[in-house]
């Protein structure tokens, strides 16, 4: 472990002791001696304060969304600046109805969707004799029909659409797809970036004034500004359709986001220096606690549990 990493760990240890325990006068004096030991010590503490401020906001929102968990007597949740009071939770509820912080609950648009899956849930919907829809976790879609053509609007999440001898229109982000007798997978975790893979037949993306044709085995990625040219896609169905979550050299910051899509509770990357570390592993979608164990036991990432809140780093 490098000196900087050791100081970061010590800073988080002090934060944990001062904010979740019962620090004595001697503890506070020892902490001040440690913090004033060098500029590097002071910098490590400053970063720890920022990290724990984020954790505190997360814990506060989590308690507001999961009152049953919050009702469990846990003294540390009320210590120092981890708890900011119910009034803040009330204010967050108003703002968060449109933009939920950290994705802890669905937005108003997602709540009103025709079909919606919860964290860790997957669902298959038959929309007609010739149209099937598979929804991955945390996915919301609206379904309508005009002039005999089914229209599927992917609000957020990940879906697989199979149209057999039927025309279908799919809307996601800034694009619109048309397909007839084709299978596609589409992922839209935010309006900023959408990925589409054509598995069978052919589809066409309409993006602004441009069109991108897709044949079986091709994919495109688009955002508000542009759409990529067709490119070869990895073969076969996505891992989620086989009940697996695959991390293939994924940065830890992205891996944490992916874990939170499937696992109830919340995982927070408390040490920002770990964000770029690459994570490679594969897990059953119902066993994402194993991912946390592997991060700790194999990758050496410190893990701290606060009820259903898990801190990494």
State whether 233 and 260 are in the same domain.
Answer: no
Tokens 């994705």 map to which residue?
Answer: 103
Give the tokens for residue 137. 């976790």
Domain limit, last residue, from 193, 210, 239: 239
Answer yes or no: are the C-beta atoms of 292 and 281 closer than 8 Å.
no
State whether 203 and 273 are in the same domain.
Answer: no
Domain extent for 71: 3-96
CA 1 to each of CA 7, 43, 269, 300, 312: distance values in angstroms, whole numbers, following the listed order: 10, 18, 19, 10, 16
State whether 45 and 88 are in the same domain.
Answer: yes
Does 117 map to a domain?
A: no
Nearest to 273 by CA among 3, 8, 1: 8
Does 107 map to a domain?
A: no
Q: What is the dihedral of CA 66, 71, 77, 82, to 10 degrees?
A: 50
State the DSSP code for 107.
-
Name the more confident of 42 and 283: 283
Tokens 């997978």 map to which residue?
Answer: 185
| Structural domains in the chain (count) | 3
- What does the pLDDT look like over 65-83, one tens digit per residue? 445 444 333 333 433 333 3
Residue 31 CA to its chain's centroid (Å): 35
Answer yes or no: are the C-beta atoms of 156 and 140 closer than 8 Å.
yes
State whether 288 and 301 are in the same domain.
Answer: yes
User: What per-residue confidence (pLDDT) applies to 72?
Assistant: 38
Distance CA 74, CA 59 (A): 12
- What does the pLDDT look like over 21-63, one tens digit per residue? 566 777 777 888 888 888 888 888 887 776 665 555 455 545 5
Q: Is the pTM of this model over 0.95?
A: no
For residues 11-20, average pLDDT:
72
What is the distance between the terminal CA atoms of the chain, rounded to a whole angstrom? 13
- What does the pLDDT look like over 94-136, one tens digit per residue? 444 444 544 554 554 555 678 999 999 999 999 888 899 999 9
State whether 263 and 198 are in the same domain.
Answer: no
pLDDT category of residue 301 using cuts at 50, 70 and 90: very high
State whether 24 and 92 are in the same domain.
Answer: yes
Tokens 């990529």 map to which residue?
Answer: 228
Please spell the DSSP secondary structure of 196-258, one letter per residue. Answer: EEEEESEEEEEETTEEEEEETTEEEEE-SS-BPPPEE--SSS-GGGGTEEEEEEEEHHHHHHH
277: Cα within 13 Å, side-chain hemisphere:
16
CATH number (domain holding residue 202): 2.60.120.1440
CATH number (domain holding residue 270): 3.55.50.30
Nearest to 241 by CA among 126, 143, 122, 118: 122
User: What per-residue confidence (pLDDT) applies to 202?
Assistant: 95
Distance CA 204, CA 69 (A): 47
Answer yes or no: are the C-beta atoms of 147 and 128 closer than 8 Å.
no
Does 211 map to a domain?
A: yes
User: What per-residue confidence (pLDDT) applies to 30?
Assistant: 86
Nearest to 142 by CA among 211, 182, 96, 188: 188
Name the more confident of 265 and 96: 265
- Judged by average pLDDT, the poorest of 75-89, 208-222, 272-286 is 75-89
Per cent of the chain over pLDDT 90 is: 51
């Amino acid at each position: 472990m490098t000196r900087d990493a050791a100081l970061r760990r010590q800073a988080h240890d002090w934060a944990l002791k001062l904010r979740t325990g019962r620090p004595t006068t001697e503890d506070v004096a020892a902490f001040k001696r440690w913090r004033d030991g060098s500029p590097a010590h002071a910098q490590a503490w400053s970063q720890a304060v920022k990290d724990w401020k984020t954790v505190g906001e997360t814990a506060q929102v989590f308690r507001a969304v999961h009152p049953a968990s919050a009702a469990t007597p846990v003294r540390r949740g009320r210590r120092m600046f981890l708890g900011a009071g119910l009034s803040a939770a009330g204010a967050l509820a108003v703002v968060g109805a449109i933009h939920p912080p950290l994705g802890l609950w669905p937005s108003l648009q997602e709540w009103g969707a025709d079909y919606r899956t919860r964290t860790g849930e997957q669902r298959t919907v038959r929309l007609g004799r010739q149209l099937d829809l598979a929804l991955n976790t945390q996915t919301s879609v609206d379904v309508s029909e005009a002039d005999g053509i089914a229209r599927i609007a992917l609000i957020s999440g990940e879906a697989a659409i199979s149209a057999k001898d039927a025309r279908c229109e799919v809307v996601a982000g800034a694009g619109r797809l048309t397909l007839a007798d084709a299978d596609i997978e589409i992922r839209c975790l935010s309006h900023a970036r959408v990925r589409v893979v054509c598995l069978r037949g052919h589809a066409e993306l309409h993006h602004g004034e441009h069109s991108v044709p897709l044949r079986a085995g091709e994919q495109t990625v688009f955002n508000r500004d542009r759409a990529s040219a067709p490119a070869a896609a990895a073969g076969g169905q996505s891992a989620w359709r086989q009940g697996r979550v695959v991390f293939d050299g994924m940065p830890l910051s992205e891996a944490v986001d992916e874990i939170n899509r499937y696992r109830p509770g919340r995982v927070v990357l408390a040490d920002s220096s770990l964000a770029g570390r690459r994570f490679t592993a594969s897990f059953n979608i119902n066993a994402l606690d194993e991912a946390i164990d592997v991060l700790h036991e194999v990758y050496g990432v410190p893990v701290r549990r606060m009820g259903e809140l898990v801190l990494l780093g």
